[in-house]
Structure 1
Amino acid sequence: MSEIRTKVQFVDIDDDMAGQRVDNFLRNFLKSIPKSMVYRILRKGEVRVNKKRVKAEYKLQAGDMVRIPPVTLEEKAEEVAPSTKLNKVAELENMVIYEDDHMLILNKPSGTAVHGGSGLKFGAIEALRALRPQARFLELVHRIDRDTSGILLVAKKRSALRHLQAQFREKTVKKFYFALVMGQWKSSCKVVNAPLLKNEVNSIVRVNPNGKLSETRFKIIEKFADATLVQASPITGRTHQIRVHTQYVGHPIAWDDRYGDRRFDAYTGKLGLDRLFLHAANIKFIHPATEEWMEINAPMEAKLERTLEGLRKQSS
């Protein structure tokens, strides 16, 4: 591990950077230093905005000039950007299904985490930054599980990030997933309202009256002899929500290693399935610049389509 001492930096705040707290700006700008150091240099007055001391909660305005003092950064091997020659990184370039000046939308493969951490050297966002070194700003708008495939929104401007995340908070974004579940889903089961509580030790989520209110809406897409393809639309955004709600009503998702049923996995495995059958297939939201509604569809990978085709043959 080596250290780098930076020089004094002066940053002009533009419209896209404006509106954020200065402490959050510094934590993003100085990614390699601990949070405690950010607050220390603010408290000691070493950070200046327009030549004046500011508090952590100061909100930056367009036209502000921020002075960032010299700091010592630690270079860690695990923080090196992933090589763009790695197959998993390179394939993400082909998974971009929409892009403009404000955002890009990825059809994330199953097995790829959205970001590094917990023993993972990199995730989708780190890979995209390696593929787009010229991009000044790339941030996740939301998250989906590592084993879930499908739509992932990435903001290319801070203003777009704020706009899109506000839509998620206000629950105006409409998200639709495809899930292959065990057994015959009842047509009368259109909504599951069941509070969810996450175990912070092992991250397992359970239905619990002391948990957070959680709602998922379901629609049958196709019935098979011993399985059902359903469309799931989460109204709330809890961890593992769709996976736990399907399990709760007795229809776990195929190849769910936490909430699934091994008998169902063995059954679908004979058709070539070896991954969680949960795919973020469709999203509707307001474009952060044009203010017009957008609808994006992400196709399922061939392995999922082949599994459905196999089920159709068995059911005919």
Structure 2
Amino acid sequence: MRSSPPNNPPKSADSRRDGASGASERLGSGVQFLTVPEELAGQRIDNFLQARLKGVPRSRIYRILRKGEVRVNKGRVKAEYRLKGGDQVRVPPIRVSEESTPPVAGESLRRTLEAAILYDEGGLLVVNKPAGLAVHGGSGVRLGLIEALRQMYPNSPFMELVHRLDRDTSGAILVARKRAVLLHVQSELRAGKLGKSYLALAAGKWPRGQKVVEAPLRKNTLKSGERIVTVEGDGKPSTTRFRVEERFKGATLLAAEPVTGRTHQIRVHAQFVGCPLAGDPKYATDEINGAFRGYGLKRLFLHSAGVRCTLPDGVRVDVKAPLPAELESVLSALRGE
């Protein structure tokens, strides 16, 4: 059963406070003291502040944490500190410039996301994220999926991503509306019990018998600030299961299930085998991507096709996300239809 978010919800005490005692939409000129409610126990302090300091860049939040301007129970804390119910958080005065005013999700985005909600029960949302939408703001992105959802559900005091998807990847993503659900599902994720399946189009002929790729991955940041992942002996252990779904001339449609959850894991493992994903701007060559543009591909062909987990009360969740029309049309072109 889905609960539809209102299109134009009135501003309420919940939307102004976001579930924290004393929190307001814009900070005034003085120091503020916020009491952490029990339902937010376990949340990281950086995420807690990000949700309340509207319009303040994440880099600035990390800076005031490093400098000790933010105190919890009168003591300094690091960004990864997890709050406890009843903690007293001291927030320094911060001016928010007019140009930093957080953007509002437009009607077009709201309608798109409302239609993309695949599941909304028991404190868990499953959203069919469109390609091109970042999961959260930051690094030049002012409005992401989670910020838009918080605006669409103003009376929900808790709204957090369970996991992430790359900006260019479409498909099913889990969002928790209750702290207990977040902790439970993330524990399944760490234990390898959370199921995630993807559809990916790889360039070339996928090697027969190549069902598992185990290659350690390491994240690197280039001087330009671009993040890239490489297979390195001293990287983190990483495993992906692959299954061939359909073969074409010069391409292979794959089902992929990441056993571990490293950044860009499926994309780099496919490249490692010699079959980078079609439309991948980081790990495929311009020549490869140009060839697939001839079939109408305008984006990375990677789609989160389904997620499986359980809720704290034992209810099993198994949700499928249909392949977007623009990717279906590429497959049709490859088939010569």
TM over 0.5: yes
Distance 1:216 1:72, change over 3 A: same
Letter in 2 for 1:95: A
Displacement of 1:77: 4.2
| 8 Å contact from structure 2 (residues 173, 307) kept in 1 | no
Distance 1:135 1:267, change over 3 A: same
1:178 aligns with 2:191: no
Distance 1:110 1:35, change over 3 A: closer
Alpha-carbon distance between aligned partners in 1 of 2:91 and 2:233, rounded to the nearest angstrom: 51
1:268 aligns with 2:292: yes
1:128 aligns with 2:152: no
Match for 2:208 among 171, 177, 187? 187
> 3-state SS of the aligned residue for 2:240?
strand
Distance 1:77 1:144, change over 3 A: farther
Distance 1:224 1:82, change over 3 A: same
Distance 1:77 1:8, change over 3 A: closer
Displacement of 1:100: 2.1
Displacement of 1:86: 5.2
2:279 aligned partner: 255
Larger Rg: 1
1:237 aligned partner: 261
Letter in 1 for 2:221: E
Residues 48-59 of structure 1 mapped to structure 2, 5 A cutoff = none
> 3-state SS of the aligned residue for 2:28?
strand
1:96 aligns with 2:117: yes
Displacement of 1:228: 0.8
Displacement of 1:207: 1.2
Q: Which moved more, 1:171-180 or 1:200-209?
A: 200-209
| 8 Å contact from structure 1 (residues 6, 71) kept in 2 | yes
Alpha-carbon distance between aligned partners in 2 of 1:10 and 1:90, rounded to the nearest angstrom: 34
Q: Which moved more, 1:157-166 or 1:245-254?
A: 157-166
Displacement of 1:6: 5.5
Q: Which moved more, 1:236-245 or 1:71-80?
A: 71-80
> 3-state SS of the aligned residue for 1:274?
coil
1:106 aligned partner: 127
Distance 1:35 1:199, change over 3 A: closer
Distance 1:312 1:163, change over 3 A: same
1:313 aligns with 2:316: no
Alpha-carbon distance between aligned partners in 1 of 2:178 and 2:137, rounded to the nearest angstrom: 21
Unpaired segments of 5 or more residues in structure 2? 1-25
Q: Which moved more, 1:152-161 or 1:73-82?
A: 73-82
| 8 Å contact from structure 1 (residues 271, 310) kept in 2 | yes
- 1:45-81 per-residue CA deviation (whole Å, 9 max, x = no partner) reads xx65xxxx678579635xx4x5555741322446533
Aligned Cα RMSD in Å? Answer: 2.8
Unpaired segments of 5 or more residues in structure 1? none
Letter in 2 for 1:216: T
Displacement of 1:24: 6.4
TM-score, normalized by length of structure 2?
0.79
> 3-state SS of the aligned residue for 2:300?
coil
> 3-state SS of the aligned residue for 1:197?
strand
Letter in 2 for 1:189: Q
Query: Percent identity among equivalent residues?
Result: 38
> 3-state SS of the aligned residue for 2:278?
coil
Aligned length: 300
- 1:231-278 per-residue CA deviation (whole Å, 9 max, x = no partner) reads 011111111111111111111111001111333323322222111000
1:83 aligns with 2:104: yes
1:207 aligns with 2:231: yes
| 8 Å contact from structure 1 (residues 243, 253) kept in 2 | yes
Letter in 1 for 2:323: M
Alpha-carbon distance between aligned partners in 1 of 2:302 and 2:127, rounded to the nearest angstrom: 16
Letter in 1 for 2:332: E
Alpha-carbon distance between aligned partners in 2 of 1:29 and 1:126, rounded to the nearest angstrom: 9
Alpha-carbon distance between aligned partners in 2 of 1:180 and 1:84, rounded to the nearest angstrom: 32
| 8 Å contact from structure 2 (residues 41, 82) kept in 1 | no
